Amino acid sequence: MQLEGHVQAIQTDLARAAGLGDEATAEAARRLSEALGSTLHLRLLDVLGEAAAEIGPQLGSGRVEVRLAGRDPELVVVMEEVPEPVQVGAGEELKGRITLRLPETIKAAVEAAADKEGISTNAWLVQTIARALHSSPSAKGRRNRLQGFAQG
């Protein structure tokens, strides 16, 4: 995506608006639009960054990065691998025991989540713990961060 054309269009619009005045006004507007070129470019990059930050959470297992190649930005969707839930093998016995004391509110929420999925509370806890153990620790915390790189 090339921002230069957009920056020049804004500068042209400013020059046209100033052209309605006298020559001194037109010259002042021309100088001002030239001086604002870099600022306009940075503001447009800010807009792209905000758009990427808004769109990213809607992707579920992906994120949007704004990458720069020189002065030209590029929006890139990066999909993250979602680990498949760990299934307990058919012949694998559930022998391990842990006594877990929970606040009533969390216990009720766990039971509701298990009911929603149509499985026992124990099966829901086993699946949830297995997913947590096998999920990528590097993916945590990246969810709403803006990331990218620049190459020049």
- DSSP lists the bridge partners of residue 76 as 65
pLDDT of residue 139: 46
Q: For the chain, first and last CA: distance in Å?
A: 15
Give the tokens for residue 22: 């006298």
- 29-80 confidence digits (pLDDT tens): 878 888 888 888 888 888 888 888 888 888 777 888 888 878 788 888 888 7
Main-chain phi, psi angles of 49, to 5 degrees: -65, -40
Mean pLDDT of 16-24: 81
Q: Where are the domains of the chain?
A: 4-82+140-151, 84-134
Confidence of residue 148 (pLDDT cuts 50, 70, 90): low
Flag the least confident range among 31-35, 51-55, 131-135, 139-143: 139-143
Q: Tokens 């993250």 appear where?
A: 80
**Average pLDDT over the chain, rounded to an integer:** 79
